Amino acid sequence: MIVIKIGGAEGIGLEAVCNDAAELVHAGERVVLVHGGSHETNTLAEQLGHPAQFVTSPSGHTSRRTDRRTMEIFQMACCGRINKRVVQMLQARGVNAVGLSGMDGGLWRGKRKKAIRIVEDGRTSVLRDDYTGTVDQVNAALLNRMLNIGLTPVLTPPGLSEEHEPINVDADRAGAKTAGAMRADTFVILSNVPGLLRSFPDEGSLIPELARAELDAAIELAQGRMKKKVLAAGEALDMGVGRVILADARAERPIQRALSGEGTVVS
Ligand code: ADP
In this structure, is residue 67 part of a structural domain? Answer: no
Residue nearest to atom 21 of ligand 1 (CA): 222
User: What pLDDT sits at residue 225?
Assistant: 87
Range(s) of the domain holding residue 249: 2-53+75-108+133-266
In this structure, is residue 83 part of a structural domain? Answer: yes
The count of domains in the chain is 1
Q: Taking the model in full, what pTM does it have?
A: 0.96
- Residue 130 and residue 171 in contact, taking contact as beta carbons nearer than 8 Å: no
User: What pLDDT sits at residue 77?
Assistant: 98
User: What is the domain-level CATH number for residue 104?
Assistant: 3.40.1160.10
In this structure, is residue 65 part of a structural domain? Answer: no
In this structure, is residue 89 part of a structural domain? Answer: yes
For the chain, the average pLDDT equals 96
Q: Tell me: cis bond preceding 166? Omega within 30 of 0 counts.
A: no
| Cβ of 178 less than 6 Å from ligand 1 | no
Distance of CA 111 to the CA centre of its chain: 18
Residues of the chain with pLDDT under 50: none
In this structure, is residue 103 part of a structural domain? Answer: yes
To test ligand 1's pocket by mutation, which of 4, 192, 226 has the most ligand atoms within 8 angstroms of CB?
A: 226
In this structure, is residue 127 part of a structural domain? Answer: no
Residue 111 neighbours by CB under 8 Å, 6+ apart:
133, 134, 136, 161, 162, 167
User: What pLDDT sits at residue 10?
Assistant: 84
Helix (H) or strand (E) holding 215: helix 215-218
| Cβ of 9 less than 6 Å from ligand 1 | yes
To test ligand 1's pocket by mutation, which of 4, 62, 170, 192 has the most ligand atoms within 8 angstroms of CB?
A: 192
Give CB contacts under 8 A, 24+ apart, made by 54-63.
55/116, 55/118, 55/120, 55/127, 56/118, 56/119, 56/120, 57/116, 57/117, 57/118, 57/119, 58/117, 58/118, 58/119, 58/124, 62/224, 63/132
